[in-house]
Amino acid sequence: PEALAAGPETAPERAEEPESQPAEPKAPSQAVPEAQAAEAKAEPVSEPQVKREPDVKARSEVPAPPAFASELPKRSQRPGALALLKLEKVEEDELFKLRPEADIDSLATSIARLGQLVPVDLRLRPPDRFQVVCGFRRVAALRLLKRERILARVHTDLNEEDALQIALADLLESRPADRDQLKVLREQLREQGRLSAGAAETLERAISPLDDELAPELVDGPDEEVDLDELAQDAIGRMASLNQDLALVVEFWTALEPGLREALLEQLSYSEQLVAYLRGLR
């Protein structure tokens, strides 16, 4: 009688199971133990499913980058990842400081008004310290303003030779130094034993006179043809890479300076207007 009484109670529980696993009819004497065994097996599976639901909902609130972004190398395989770090974690190490800092008052004023618009390059020093590769003026300006966080591109696997190449490229592109200063820098690096073949070649190209033989790429010539499909494909790749960084910025959006948020929204508004215009051309 007890087995027959328990049978109706277990039947609704088995009815709630997915339709893909219909219960086969069994003898009354086997219904109770088999139902209890099914419940024992179902409980450890159902509990983690309930616990995972909040995480799935939280991730769904942030728009994911376009599908083609997944075809790019993972962030850990790319040269540097954008991050918002505590300024106190940045060491006062001037190994890659290739020239004295100019007046930083105007830069500090600009950062105070608009926020830090350009990230600095940092090299990870495990476990949680960072060495400046380039962007010393921005670091100094942020310290002058008593800021707590810094926007940086972090290089987790960067040797000293490659870090010097990045610092040299920043030196020559941002505020070009004259030849005498570059010659002095070359001698300093040579004396310190840090003048690698790549650094020597970079400095030699910058120091040498610009004439037809030494800089043929600067000589006027016929316009080079541009393949429109290749240009579009290259733009897609660069925009996909940018979307990867934007996805990270979204996570720290409320921590960004108001001026930096406004500047970023202004850039994104252009893309929004351009998309609407291009869709109208279809």
Whether the predicted pLDDT of 197 surpasses 50? yes
- Evaluate whether residue 151 is within a structural domain: yes
- Evaluate whether residue 247 is within a structural domain: no
Give the domain range for residue 90: 79-176
Quick one: pLDDT at residue 47?
44
Quick one: pLDDT at residue 257?
76
- Evaluate whether residue 142 is within a structural domain: yes
Encoded tokens for 71: 């075809």
- Evaluate whether residue 167 is within a structural domain: yes
Percent of the chain with pLDDT over 70: 65
The answer to whether 259 touches 113, Cβ cutoff 8 Å, is yes
Of 156, 150, 137, residue with least CA distance to 83: 150
Quick one: pLDDT at residue 35?
46
Summarize the confidence of residues 189-215 as an average pLDDT: 80
The answer to whether 120 touches 132, Cβ cutoff 8 Å, is yes
Task: Please tell me whether residue 192 adopts helix, strand or coil conformation.
Answer: coil
Give the C-alpha separation, 73 to 70, whole Å: 8
Q: Are strands 129-134 and 120-125 parallel, antiparallel or unpaired?
A: antiparallel
Of 205, 214, 197, 215, residue with least CA distance to 179: 205
Q: How confident is the model over 111-166, as pLDDT tens digits? A: 998 888 889 999 999 999 999 999 999 999 999 999 999 999 999 989 999 999 99
State the Cα angle at 97 between 93 and 121, rounded to 5°.
Answer: 75
Give the C-alpha separation, 84 to 143, whole Å: 15
- Evaluate whether residue 11 is within a structural domain: no
Whether the predicted pLDDT of 50 surpasses 50? no
Task: Please tell me whether residue 121 adopts helix, strand or coil conformation.
Answer: strand
Which carries the bigger pLDDT value, residue 71 or residue 208?
A: 208
Summarize the confidence of residues 190-213 as an average pLDDT: 82
Mean pLDDT of the chain: 73
Encoded tokens for 130: 């960072």
Helix extents (H) in 61-153:
105-114, 136-144
- Evaluate whether residue 181 is within a structural domain: no
**Number of domains composing the chain:** 1
Give the C-alpha separation, 7 to 35, whole Å: 9
Q: Domain of 115: which CATH number?
A: 3.90.1530.10
Quick one: pLDDT at residue 227?
76
Task: Please tell me whether residue 211 adopts helix, strand or coil conformation.
Answer: coil
Whether the predicted pLDDT of 12 surpasses 70? no
Give the C-alpha separation, 150 to 116, whole Å: 8
State the Cα angle at 145 between 143 and 150, rounded to 5°.
Answer: 55
Summarize the confidence of residues 48-63 as an average pLDDT: 43
- Evaluate whether residue 215 is within a structural domain: no
Whether the predicted pLDDT of 251 surpasses 90? no
Quick one: pLDDT at residue 28?
44
Which carries the bigger pLDDT value, residue 227 or residue 203?
A: 203
The answer to whether 137 touches 104, Cβ cutoff 8 Å, is yes
Q: How confident is the model over 15-25, as pLDDT tens digits? A: 444 444 444 54
